[in-house]
Amino acid sequence: MKKDLLTLNDINIDELEQIFTLAEKLKKERGKSNYFPLSGKSVGMIFAKSSTRTRVSFEVGIRELGGNPLYLNSASMQVGRGETIADTAKVLSRYLHGVVIRTFSHSDVETLAKEATFPVINALTDEYHPCQILADMMTVKEHSKKPLNEIKMVFAGDGSSNICNSLMLASKLTGMNLVVAAPEEYRPCENILNSAPKVTWEKDIMKAAENADYLYTDVYVSMGFEDESKERLAILKPYQVNKAVMNQAKPEAKFLHCLPAHRGEEVSADVMDSPASIVFDQAENRLHVQKAVLSLLFENFYK
Ligand code: CP
Ligand code: NVA
């Protein structure tokens, strides 16, 4: 394992398998194990954006592994008043054993990781959300009879989002077939698309959804993009995952969403609340998969 997990490009397929194996074990043994790989370790959790799932699952996960989590709202740190990321990294390196960070610019996370002497985990930037997609892949594995490289997933909506970028990297890693149903204005990042042989871009959502095993969507207005709300809601409206879209997919197809969801926007309420929806399994698996990531990164770094 590398020192940090900033994007899914930081892990290979063997490491992904290791993460899933450990996550499944930790899920089964939750509350019963004597496994405390973070014992005596303090982990900072720097958040510059809102969070429910990520904050709670990391905080609980770090504690369950024997570590000490410190929630740090970046607005109340000196970094919010102009102290550089590099200086912050050097100072925190004298106190902490690792950092989980959610912020806007991905390059800030890269700077932090470069300057810090501890492992850094990306808990969402404008560009990537690797921990979410690891939990999603674990969830898909649990619900599938086929291996990941035989699955067809459709991501509908904002193809330029952190979720879509990370899903494309997941396809590159696992060989999963991914069709991104998105309009020209929010098309998938060309560089990532070109690097991922099993990802295609399709503007017509009904065509994209044909024969899909999984339909995935995300909010139309990501955190930090609130100024663009009006045009995003208008342009992305035809990409809603609703019953008509689900009917194009396989009869046993499942619905995925990283959450939080906006019923009536990117997903209709009937799909969100249908038996096909496995969104809360995804949310639960954040805890297990992140515990596995923390354990493997720390065991490797502090051996
Ligand atoms: N899916 C996700 O990252 O949720 P939060 O924004 O609540 O952390
Ligand atoms: N794309 C969304 C994901 C939230 C988990 C956002 O960045 O707000």
| 3 alpha carbon – ligand 1 mean position (Å) | 24
Token digits of residue 10: 């930081």
Helix (H) or strand (E) holding 207: helix 205-208
Query: Which residues line the pocket of ligand 1, CB cutoff 6 A?
Result: 51-54, 124, 132, 258-259
What are the distances in angstroms from CA 298 to CA 18, 23, 134? 14, 15, 18
Query: 195 Cβ partners below 8 Å, 6+ apart?
Result: 172
What is the arithmetic mean of pLDDT over 184-208? 98
Taking the CA of residue 132 as reference, the ligand 2 atom at the shortest distance is 5
Mean pLDDT of the chain: 98
222: Cβ below 6 Å to ligand 2? yes
DSSP assignment string, 116-134: -SS-EEE---SS--HHHHH
* Separation of CA 42 from chain center: 23
pLDDT at 33: 87
| 27 alpha carbon – ligand 2 mean position (Å) | 25
Type of residue numbered 39: S
Which ligand is located closest to the Cα atom of residue 132?
1
Rounded Cα–Cα distance for residues 199 and 12 (Å): 18
Q: Helix 279-301 vs helix 13-28: angle between axes, to the nearest 10 degrees?
A: 110
Residue 30 a catalytic site member: no
Q: In the predicted model, is pLDDT for residue 46 greater than 90?
A: yes
What is the biggest distance separating any 2 CA atoms in the chain, rounded to whole angstroms?
Answer: 55
Hey, which of 162, 228, 279 would you mutate to test ligand 2's pocket, going by the most ligand atoms within 8 Å of its Cβ? 162
* Nearest CA owner, ligand 2 atom 6: 222
| 223 alpha carbon – ligand 2 mean position (Å) | 6
Token digits of residue 57: 């699952």
Alpha carbon distance, N-terminus to C-terminus of the chain: 12
What is the arithmetic mean of pLDDT over 20-43? 97
Residue 143 a catalytic site member: no
Residue 248 a catalytic site member: no
In tens, the pLDDT along 68-105 reads: 999 999 999 999 999 999 999 999 999 999 999 999 99
Residue 158 a catalytic site member: no
pLDDT at 166: 99
Hey, which of 103, 109, 124, 256 would you mutate to test ligand 2's pocket, going by the most ligand atoms within 8 Å of its Cβ? 124
Using only C-alpha atoms, the chain has a radius of gyration, in whole angstroms, of: 19
* Nearest CA owner, ligand 1 atom 6: 51
In tens, the pLDDT along 220-260 reads: 999 999 999 999 999 999 999 999 999 999 999 999 999 99
Which domains does the chain possess?
A: 8-128+283-301 (3.40.50.1370), 132-282 (3.40.50.1370)
Residue 78 a catalytic site member: no
Query: 227 Cβ partners below 8 Å, 6+ apart?
Result: none
What is the arithmetic mean of pLDDT over 127-135? 99
Q: Which residues pair with 200 in a beta bridge?
A: 179
Residue 132 a catalytic site member: yes
What is the arithmetic mean of pLDDT over 121-143? 99
Rounded Cα–Cα distance for residues 122 and 143 (Å): 26
| 162 alpha carbon – ligand 2 mean position (Å) | 7
Rounded Cα–Cα distance for residues 238 and 232 (Å): 11
In tens, the pLDDT along 246-298 reads: 999 999 999 999 999 999 999 999 999 999 999 999 999 999 999 999 999 99
| 181 alpha carbon – ligand 1 mean position (Å) | 22
